[in-house]
Structure 1
Amino acid sequence: MNRLQTVIYPQNGERKNLFFSGKGGVGKTSMACITAVETAKKGYKTLLMTTDPAAHIGNVLDKPVSDEITKIDGLENLYAVKIDQKKATQAYKEKVLQDAEGKFDQHTIMAMKEELDSPCTEEMAAFQKFVDFASRDDFQVIIFDTAPTGHTLRLLELPMDWSKQIQLKAGASTNVTEEDKKQQERFDKVLDMMKDKKTTTFSFVMYPEKTPIIEAYRASKELETLDIKTQLVVANLIIPEEQALTPFYKKRRAMQLEYIEEINNTFEDAELLKVPMFEDEIKGLEMLIEIGKKIFDGGDRNE
């Protein structure tokens, strides 16, 4: 098994968690779907998840996906779920405020409501849903489309449940309950899992141009402050050599090859996966299986 395969497939019977991140439009949802189909095809029970409201994993799989874990027909071992961020955020807000009722005065509760309207709440609520799924032990591979930022993860490293931090910001004080401690233990367990390079692979998807490389590098450095290393980088939408026939496409491909070298040098400790541009829309299990064969079987950064 080569190094690329060790960051994709589970090792020694342990579960593998794969996170795909990157700026909008670089193809991270397609890559998450391709990888999920690949691991399922290899016999690993796989859960594909997303919290991105713009994600279209159902369209890429060409199968219905809801906010309940769904078995994907047509491929053994593949399951998918789309976390509804609005519903998750609303449920999270309601729980925090319900816990506060009867404990604090209306002024404090109003201040808490203002705190809960921040974008951080959406991140936290979505990640709590992820923690619920990641705490399960009935999947061998979990693939997460749109990885949490270092900012979100730092919220989880606070010394108690984040809802209690909101209360403190609002000027209230509260004791940490047994339920809070259990929740924090679950967060800590998932964070430890995400820092374990043997069980978790963080990946950045980018097309080979300057801006996506810079943005991915900045995000990877933010994660490094939490001891989370980037182990896989995906150079997507590469013009195939046999298609670079006109001066325009020859020049574009030459530019891409230079940026691929820059990606290699910038993320020197990560495996590089090169993915060509396809003439058809990436859609359906059959096409995803064929792409997986093309890019994963026997591939490594030196090919």
Structure 2
Amino acid sequence: MYQSFDPKNAVYTPYLFFTGKGGVGKTSTACATAVSLADEGKKVLLVSTDPASNLQDVLEVELTNIPSEIPTVPNLFACNLDPEEAARAYRERVVGPYKGVLPDSVVATMEEQMSGACTVEIAAFDEFTSLLGNPEITESYDHIIFDTAPTGHTLRLLQLPTAWTGFLEESTHGASCLGPLFGLGEKKDLYSKTMKALSDSKQTMLVLVARPDESSLLEANRASNELREIGIRNQSLIVNGLMETYLPEDEVSTFFYKKQRSALSEVPEQLKKVVIYSLPYVSYSLTGIESLRHLLKNFILPSVQTKSTGNEQISLPELKDLVEDLSQQNKRVIFTMGKGGVGKTTIASAIAVGLVEQGHKVHLTTTDPAAHVGNIFKGEELNNLITISQIDPKVEVDKYKEVVLATAGKDLDEEGLAYLEEDLNSPCTEEIAVFRAFAEVVERAEDEIVVIDTAPTGHTLLLLDAAQSYHKELSRSTGEVPESVQKLLPRLRNPKETSVVIVTLAEATPVLEASRLQDDLKRADINPEWWVINQSLYTTKTMDLVLNGRATSEEQWILRVKELSNKCAIIPVVKEESIGYDQLKNYLK
């Protein structure tokens, strides 16, 4: 369908950046590319700037932030830069001088403002800029491969002229995501050279990695457009995990194959303009050098069959048990949380249906622009116990921006206004605007159980919590936090009223990211009670050799989820589209 990805023919720039949403296989693809180029005699440096990096697991060596040689692959060197550690050091450099000078409450607010994704992004950029700006390193390698590229938001921030002025010191509007740029003026020239290298097609190639599913391809298209707009136009796409064949007599195999082909028939038009490669869906874990070499040779089965741990079949509760538990505890607010692509919208819808079947009145809402909860129910006439809505992040952000620009922006000059507008395009702004809408929905539904798909992060909760006490620094619009938000924060922290359900897949990246999400929530005094392992092959009896091998590899991650969670339910791969009220009831049988 697409040409197989072969670095010998596809790679022709010294710098490569691999990007894609969590769980698409960008780390394993970046590692396989690095090994292949090194095997060809090229001297290669592989660098991870992913906070959730499993680079050392894939290469099966211990790594630090200093490049070290991979013993089993001549010419290959690797290092693991930890942007979260860099962000901690960066926060200390920025906030440290104010400790003991400003009130502790204000310092605490400053630290929380710099605890979000934007600070980590800037810190990651700072880390790899230090590499690219060091001639001793760049001139020592034929290729430098980065696992995880900077986002378009980060790069746009660094292009704003006001990011390099004293604007932040003078500003009183309380920028939430531009704060991470404070104090970087001394690196302006270095960053400028790095930006120039990134936009030079002869020096840099951006490799978008996606799974053959709708949400993954949409995310790749978004990243492609965002980065193209700021000059990074040398792009290619790898569709990872493509099934070439299927067993007609095997329902699971047939479902997987047809679902992939359906998603690929809807590839966004803009994404079709880049060169598209593919890598196969494989049964083996992509850890170890030989497995990485097998991947680029298009081997779908391992040289040695994967073996189970030898434990008895793991038995876990089902989704109906989770719903029964929520019903008996009379939970009033239920969030489903997890990274994109794990199926949290479907799980939220199934939980809502399950509670309705228990006789409860339920309101189901989502903020996922790709979720289309209304489409899940196909416009059918619903049970009078369930209502649905969709919180549109774009609409909520536009409303929020309008208020902020009319207040905080009214006295700013042109540069200051551009700076504020960029800040308002940040992930933090969207989280806060959407959270305000969440609060309004919950307040309107006092007599219903409210099931909310795509919940705010712990960072957002802490930021809003800080705003209740220190709104002069944080609240940019009205000078105060809406009453609905003030009422909802304590409610979310009340386990008698609220339950957070974390949704994951039995794979490395979704589980590791869900674990960090749980830590983030605990920091905000919210303790998730249930986890759901969705779309599990482990619980099926597939005869397909590749899928059966993958089912075996799930076992270690199922055991890991059991360790991380208080309670855990598992849902097998559903061999049909989950559309409509009656179809969702199948999750509860």
Q: What interval of TM-score do these two structures reach, taking the shorter chain for normalisation?
A: 0.7 to 0.9
Question: In structure 1, how many angstroms separate the alpha carbons of the residues matched to 2:94 and 2:164?
Answer: 10
Determine if the alignment matches structure 1 residue 246 to structure 2 residue 249. yes
Q: 2:146 aligns with which of 144, 147, 151?
A: 144
CA contact (8 A) 1:231 1:269 kept: no
Q: 1:76 aligns with which of 63, 74, 77?
A: 74
Post-superposition Cα deviations, 1:201-255, rounded to whole Å, max 9, x if no partner, equal 11221111111111221122211221222611111111232x5453432342233
- Find the residue that maps to 1:274 and give its secondary structure: strand
- Which structure's CA Rg is the greater one? 2
CA contact (8 A) 1:236 1:275 kept: yes
Paired residues in the alignment total 281
Question: In structure 2, how many angstroms separate the alpha carbons of the residues matched to 1:210 and 1:58?
Answer: 30
CA contact (8 A) 2:44 2:141 kept: yes
Q: Quick check: 34-43 or 155-164, which moved more?
A: 155-164
Q: 1:29-48 residue pairs with structure 2 within 5 A? A: 29-48=27-46
Q: Quick check: 16-25 or 151-160, which moved more?
A: 151-160
Q: 1:15-26 residue pairs with structure 2 within 5 A? A: 16-26=14-24
- Find the residue that maps to 2:225 and give its secondary structure: helix
Question: In structure 2, how many angstroms separate the alpha carbons of the residues matched to 1:163 and 1:39?
Answer: 42
- Find the residue that maps to 1:151 and give its secondary structure: helix
**CA 145–180 in structure 1, closer or farther in 2 if over 3 Å, else same:** closer
Compute the displacement of 1:8 (Å): 4.0
Equivalent position of 1:202 in the other structure: 206
Q: Quick check: 27-36 or 160-169, which moved more?
A: 160-169
Compute the displacement of 1:86 (Å): 2.7
Post-superposition Cα deviations, 1:248-268, rounded to whole Å, max 9, x if no partner, equal 323422332343344384422
Determine if the alignment matches structure 1 residue 220 to structure 2 residue 257. no
What is the one-letter code of the residue matched to 2:286?
A: I
CA contact (8 A) 1:10 1:140 kept: no
Q: 1:260 aligns with which of 254, 261, 264?
A: 264
Question: In structure 2, how many angstroms separate the alpha carbons of the residues matched to 1:7 and 1:165?
Answer: 47
- Find the residue that maps to 2:45 and give its secondary structure: strand
Q: 1:175-190 residue pairs with structure 2 within 5 A? A: 183-190=187-194
Q: Which runs of 5+ in 2 are unaligned?
A: 174-182, 300-589
Q: Greater relative contact order: 1 or 2 (C-alpha under 8 angstroms, separation 6 or more)?
A: 1
- Find the residue that maps to 2:160 and give its secondary structure: coil
Question: In structure 1, how many angstroms separate the alpha carbons of the residues matched to 2:229 and 2:44?
Answer: 29
Post-superposition Cα deviations, 1:56-90, rounded to whole Å, max 9, x if no partner, equal 11111122222221211111111111112232112
Question: In structure 1, how many angstroms separate the alpha carbons of the residues matched to 2:51 and 2:116?
Answer: 17
Equivalent position of 1:167 in the other structure: 169
Q: 1:86 aligns with which of 76, 84, 87?
A: 84
Question: In structure 2, how many angstroms separate the alpha carbons of the residues matched to 1:130 and 1:226?
Answer: 18
**CA 163–294 in structure 1, closer or farther in 2 if over 3 Å, else same:** farther
Equivalent position of 1:175 in the other structure: none
CA contact (8 A) 1:237 1:275 kept: yes
- Find the residue that maps to 2:74 and give its secondary structure: coil
CA contact (8 A) 1:59 1:283 kept: yes
What is the one-letter code of the residue matched to 2:211?
A: Y
Post-superposition Cα deviations, 1:24-82, rounded to whole Å, max 9, x if no partner, equal 11111111111111121122221111122222111111222222212111111111111
Q: 1:287 aligns with which of 284, 287, 291?
A: 291
**CA 101–193 in structure 1, closer or farther in 2 if over 3 Å, else same:** same
Q: Quick check: 60-69 or 144-153, which moved more?
A: 60-69
- Find the residue that maps to 2:193 and give its secondary structure: helix
**CA 163–63 in structure 1, closer or farther in 2 if over 3 Å, else same:** farther
> Kindly, what percent of the aligned residue pairs are identical?
32
Equivalent position of 1:269 in the other structure: 273
Q: TM (normalized to structure 2)?
A: 0.43
Post-superposition Cα deviations, 1:99-135, rounded to whole Å, max 9, x if no partner, equal x679xx747x948656534432221111100101122
Question: In structure 2, how many angstroms separate the alpha carbons of the residues matched to 1:7 and 1:147?
Answer: 22
Question: In structure 2, how many angstroms separate the alpha carbons of the residues matched to 1:96 and 1:192?
Answer: 27
CA contact (8 A) 2:122 2:154 kept: yes
Compute the displacement of 1:200 (Å): 0.9
Q: 1:193 aligns with which of 197, 207, 220?
A: 197
CA RMSD between the two structures: 3.3
Q: Which runs of 5+ in 1 are unaligned?
A: 172-178, 296-303
Once superposed, which parts of structure 1, at least 4 consecutive aligned residues long, lie more than 6 Å away?
A: none
- Find the residue that maps to 2:272 and give its secondary structure: coil
CA contact (8 A) 1:53 1:85 kept: yes
Equivalent position of 1:176 in the other structure: none
CA contact (8 A) 1:203 1:234 kept: yes
CA contact (8 A) 1:112 1:170 kept: no
Question: In structure 1, how many angstroms separate the alpha carbons of the residues matched to 2:249 and 2:63?
Answer: 41
What is the one-letter code of the residue matched to 2:161?
A: P
